[in-house]
A and B are shown apart, each in its own frame.
Chain A
Amino acid sequence: MRRALPIFVVLAGLLVAIAIVNPYFLEPPAFLAFVKRAAPLVILAAGQYFVIVSGEFDLSVGSLVTAEVVIAARLIDGSAEATWPVLALMIAFGLIVGLVNGIVTTLLRVPSFITTLGMLLILSGAVFLWTGGSPRGALSEQFRQLGRGSLGPVPWSVLILAAVAAAAVCAMRAGFGHTLVAAGDNDRAAALSGVRVARVRTVAFMISGLSAAVAAILLGGFAGVSAQVGKGLEFQAITAVVLGGVALGGGRGSVAAAMAGAFTLEALFTLLNLYGISGALEPAVQGVIIIAAVALGAVRFPRARAAAAS
């Protein structure tokens, strides 16, 4: 947990910095709007955390989000009755994609970087092949409510985020979480102590697929249907997780910190906007800050890292 502390300090600092520029930011409506905007990335980061802590990568989540949104729009096509079955289908599709990623990675022993890169190519190609190059159809009003509507003052997406966060923390506290971290830290040792490494890793991939489905539901409602909706999200999610102090390669870091990393990234975007750093320079600033943040995290514990690496 001590490892996770810096990210919360950074997040608090960023929120204060935003509040100084924009005093209304910390009032409930504005803050809830911020959380609502951040929710899809935070959920994706939580899903990505499970995969990364088990020692793997998931590069397919961005194209999975796009695929889910495009499929939903095509199947719903504006009709209200289709909403719930399609939602169920999206969840199932996310789980299946995760299952395939997991099985190919664990049973066929393909490095997850390549498995999920292949999945990225397959998903983006297949979806656009099916829709003929540009997304068609429309989401129904009920569907969009999840992304943009609210229950009283609290947006639905914030409630969903809270539920996802609680579930993620519980999962990591349960036996599953411990075996997952053990598998990520040293899979041989874990296997010898009776962990079914292939199984827990596959489940981690399925959780990541599920989180992509949930993020797609929120993003579809929030941002609408486009072929760009999930673009670059896989890198943002991985960056968020690493910002949270989770080691690439697995075995270290907490899910709360990973989600805080996603909030930090989103707060950073907000702050850059407020300071009028235009869209063009934004990636440059983002790149420098990411490297700096990860470098600081690494320099602080060089001994722990070297010991763990050997």
Chain B
Amino acid sequence: MTQQLKLRPVPAGGSLIRRLSADRPARPVYVALALLVVLGWLVFALDGGAFLSQENIVGIQQRSAALGIVAVGQTLVILAGSLDLSVAYLISLTSLVTAEIMAGSDTGVPVAVAAALAVSALTGLVNGLIVTRLRVHAFIATLGVALVIRGALDARYDGPAGSVPESFQHLGYDRIGPLPVSALLWAAVAAGAWLLLSRTRLGYRIYAVGGDTEVARLSGVRTERVVVAAHVLCSVCAGIAGLLLASRLGAGAPTVGTDGGYDLESIAAVVLGGTALAGGRGGVAGTVGGVLLLAVLDSIFNQLEVNSFAKDVVRGVILVAALAIYARRRRTR
């Protein structure tokens, strides 16, 4: 009996809001994160460093901000039962749009930010319309859009282009007290997405459509609009990440998105956070945990000076192991 209670933390009869917004699947990722922080502290202590030093914590936040923002957006599309493989190229594109329009002058900043967000929203709209109206599987649709963006980038750019004024670089490097601005931006995006999912009609509909499209449609939800909206929001998140990366680099770069592996890595962070790849279950809190988990892991690897290829191996193992554990928990329920 006690075991049963442990496995069902939220009673099935809970209110709708509680059931939808409670990120039950997020719990294991935070347990894992806590364990990893302890491990990191031990490793750093044995190695002569300080894991909980300000520099290291700031480093972790800064490294994870861009991936975190993309992953929050990816959470929305995955919850809606879709998928976005075009984010990596879109990040490159928006970083270039930003830097080219700014061209080093302060006056261009608002226009450039608006243009970057508009380009990403448009890309999201195209993704969403291809998935819903043309009924192309999201995997193929967003892969195709990714190829189109890649072609446009390859045709126009061979290397970094444009430049970002000093004032805009504050976004990437400044800190307010111990908190980097980029991390605050990430927190704002995550909080916005959390509010959207737990407090608004669109949020409930995203869960409904991701859980069962047909049932959602029969209950009067315009499923296509919901999917399109999720895609637009996801792409805008990628656009924000592009802005952030442009401000870090001081220029736009055609490979910044793909080098970071933001497409597959954001999906990995989302599912690490307990969101079901099939949609309808999970949430932003888990994704934030998943991104932090990857970042803490990275910082431990850096301290140990582990070969970057070994990082990939360990990441792969952790990803599969985590999902295997989630699958076990779900079955025993």
Q: Which of A's residues lie within 8 Å of B, judged by CB?
A: 57, 104, 108-111, 113-115, 117-122, 124-126, 128-129, 133, 235, 238-239, 242, 248-249, 278-288, 290-291, 294-295, 298-299, 302, 305, 309-310
Complex-state Cα separation, A290 to B145, whole angstroms = 10
Q: Are A298 and B327 closer than 8 Å at their CB atoms?
A: no
Report which of B135, B143, B319, B324 forms a contact with A235, defined as CB distance below 8 A.
B143
Known: A121-B315, A283-B154, A298-B135. 13 other contacts (CB 8 A): A108-B320, A113-B277, A114-B320, A118-B315, A122-B312, A128-B309, A129-B310, A129-B313, A238-B140, A242-B137, A278-B155, A283-B148, A287-B150
Give A110's nearest chain B residue, CB to CB: B323
Give B325's nearest chain A residue, CB to CB: A108
Q: Are A125 and B311 closer than 8 Å at their CB atoms?
A: yes
Report which of A249, A278, A298 forms a contact with B136, defined as CB distance below 8 A.
A298
Question: Is B42 in contact with chain A by the CB < 8 A criterion?
Answer: no
Question: Is B316 in contact with chain A by the CB < 8 A criterion?
Answer: yes
Which residues of chain B from 263 to 316 have any CB-CB distance to chain A below 8 Å in the complex?
Answer: 264, 267-268, 271, 277-278, 307, 309-313, 315-316
Q: B185-229 interface mask toward A, CB cutoff 8 Å, 1 = contact, 0 = none?
A: 000000000000000000000000000001000000000000000
What A residues does B328 contact at CB under 8 A?
108-109
Tell me how many residue pairs across A and B have CB atoms closer than 8 Å. Answer: 145
Question: Is B134 in contact with chain A by the CB < 8 A criterion?
Answer: yes
Complex-state Cα separation, A281 to B163, whole angstroms = 25
Complex-state Cα separation, A255 to B214, whole angstroms = 30
Report which of A124, A239, A242, A309 forms a contact with B214, defined as CB distance below 8 A.
A309
Report which of B139, B310, B319, B324 forms a contact with A125, defined as CB distance below 8 A.
B310
Question: Is B50 in contact with chain A by the CB < 8 A criterion?
Answer: no
Does more than half of chain B's interface fall in helix, strand or loop, or is it mixed?
helix
What B residues does A283 contact at CB under 8 A?
147-148, 150-151, 154
Q: Are B319 and A114 closer than 8 Å at their CB atoms?
A: yes
For the complex formed, measure the closest distance between the CB of B213 and the CB atoms of chain A, giving whole angstroms: 8
Q: In the A-B complex, list the 9 residue pairs whose CB atoms are closest, starting with the nearest.
A: A284-B151, A287-B147, A125-B312, A121-B316, A109-B327, A295-B134, A122-B316, A118-B320, A280-B154
What B residues does A299 contact at CB under 8 A?
134-135
What A residues does B31 contact at CB under 8 A?
none
Give A289's nearest chain B residue, CB to CB: B144
Question: Is B103 in contact with chain A by the CB < 8 A criterion?
Answer: no
Complex-state Cα separation, A294 to B319, whole angstroms = 31
Q: Are A119 and B316 closer than 8 Å at their CB atoms?
A: yes
Question: Is B38 in contact with chain A by the CB < 8 A criterion?
Answer: no
Q: Are A287 and B268 closer than 8 Å at their CB atoms?
A: no
Which residues of chain B from 120 to 147 have any CB-CB distance to chain A below 8 Å in the complex?
Answer: 130, 134-137, 139-141, 143-147
Q: Are B155 and A298 closer than 8 Å at their CB atoms?
A: no
Q: Are A298 and B134 closer than 8 Å at their CB atoms?
A: yes
Report which of A129, A248, A305 forms a contact with B139, defined as CB distance below 8 A.
A248
Question: Is B333 in contact with chain A by the CB < 8 A criterion?
Answer: no
For the complex formed, measure the closest distance between the CB of A205 and the CB atoms of chain B, giving whole angstroms: 14
Q: Are A291 and B324 closer than 8 Å at their CB atoms?
A: no
Report which of B130, B135, B313 forms a contact with A302, defined as CB distance below 8 A.
B135
Complex-state Cα separation, A280 to B158, whole angstroms = 10
Q: B212-253 interface mask toward A, CB cutoff 8 Å, 1 = contact, 0 = none?
A: 001000000000000000000000000000000000000000
Q: Are A114 and B277 closer than 8 Å at their CB atoms?
A: yes
Q: Are A110 and B140 closer than 8 Å at their CB atoms?
A: no
